[in-house]
Amino acid sequence: MGAARIPSRQAEVWRRLTEVNDPELDEPVTEMGFVERAEVTSDGSVEIDFRLPTYWCSPNFAFLMLDGVRKALDQLSWSPAYRVKLHDHMFAEEVNRGMEAGKTFGDIFAELAEDQDLGALRETFRMKAFKRRQEAVLRGLRQHGLTDREILAMDLPAYDVARFEPGEAANQKPRYRAALLERYPDRRTDDPVFVTWEGQRIPPAALGAHLAELRGVRVNMEFNGALCRGLKQTRYKELDVVDGEPTLVDFIMNRVPARAAPTA
């Protein structure tokens, strides 16, 4: 492959990876720092190094993210061979060995995943993402001066022309649209944009209580996201841990000693 093609393909790889979300946090794995390396090699193949924030991250969560990475790589325009390597996870050896043997992620995690219905788990995370995105847009419209009645009467054409200042509402506007259409693909364009996860209309008088419920979802996700980032940042500093893997309490209480700087 010509060297001139590598940068454009490299950019395409990263663009696809930004579409893969941490399912629990609804944030791109690239922004969370989980993708440590994504490289297009000279023969056009792709190599990915993936690292989660803790050694004990749920194998179910690992499966959902790695499966998202696989689907992203399958959409690359030149259909390359690829290698995804999971690092520093309690099941990294089994996962990497399975991938090298050509097994699918489903085959690998059928034995490793906890006793949960992954389909139900996906649906739970989709619901949380729907609510978090909706709450950001609703708050943005309120801040923009629209009344609750005007907001809840919006259909898709009105929604599409709404504009926000740069910020969370602007970022979440297209993402909420995508979540709404994924949840209700057969909806009419004149149907209300803002409905509950179950598809029920929200009366204007109930919007305050609805937002309070959504706020609880967001706060929980933001807390988990901050904890996740902190764990990853602390874990992968140079550490000198004598007695093995630090515990969650060690990280939270900042009791993990840093490695002393080398002396001349």
Residue 223 lies in a domain: no
Q: Are residues 98 and 12 in the same domain?
A: yes
* pLDDT value of position 144: 93
User: Is the pLDDT at 64 greater than 90, yes or no?
Assistant: no
How far apart are alpha carbons 24 and 124 in whole angstroms? 9
* pLDDT value of position 233: 75
* pLDDT value of position 4: 66
How far apart are alpha carbons 140 and 134 in whole angstroms? 10
| One-letter amino acid for residue 76 of the chain | L
pLDDT digits (tens, 9 = 90+) for 200-251: 999 999 999 999 999 999 999 998 888 888 877 776 554 444 444 444 444 4
Residue 102 lies in a domain: yes
The residues, ordered by sequence, that sit 6+ positions from 147 with a Cβ below 8 Å of its Cβ are 204
**What is the CB-side half-sphere exposure of residue 122 using CA atoms within 13 A?**
9
How far apart are alpha carbons 15 and 37 in whole angstroms? 14
Residue 252 lies in a domain: no
CATH classification at residue 82: 3.30.300.130
* pLDDT value of position 256: 44
Residues spanned by the domain of 79: 3-116
Mean predicted lDDT score pLDDT of the chain: 85
| pLDDT band (50, 70, 90) for residue 257 | very low
| Per-residue burial over 213-231, b = 16 or more CB atoms within 10 Å of its CB, e = otherwise | ebeebbeebeeebebbbeb
pLDDT digits (tens, 9 = 90+) for 134-188: 999 999 999 999 999 999 999 999 999 999 999 999 999 999 999 999 999 999 9
How far apart are alpha carbons 98 and 81 in whole angstroms? 16
Q: Which of 214, 215, 183, 210 has its CA nearest to residue 199?
A: 183
Domain count for the chain, please give it.
Answer: 2
How does DSSP assign 40-76, residue by residue? E-TTS-EEEEEE-SSTT--HHHHHHHHHHHHHHHHT-
Final residue before a domain boundary, out of 74, 97, 116: 116
How far apart are alpha carbons 66 and 233 in whole angstroms? 21
pLDDT digits (tens, 9 = 90+) for 223-237: 888 888 887 777 655
pLDDT digits (tens, 9 = 90+) for 6-29: 899 999 999 999 999 998 899 999
Q: Is 190 exposed, middle or buried (0-12, 13-18, 19+ CB in 10 A)?
A: exposed
Q: Are residues 21 and 107 in the same domain?
A: yes
How far apart are alpha carbons 246 and 255 in whole angstroms? 9
- For the chain, percent helix, then strand, then coil, each to nearest 5? 50, 10, 40
SS3 89: coil
Q: Are residues 16 and 101 in the same domain?
A: yes
Final residue before a domain boundary, out of 178, 193, 213: 213
Q: Are residues 67 and 136 in the same domain?
A: no
* pLDDT value of position 44: 94
How far apart are alpha carbons 30 and 15 in whole angstroms? 10
The residues, ordered by sequence, that sit 6+ positions from 16 with a Cβ below 8 Å of its Cβ are 72, 73, 75, 76
Residue 259 lies in a domain: no
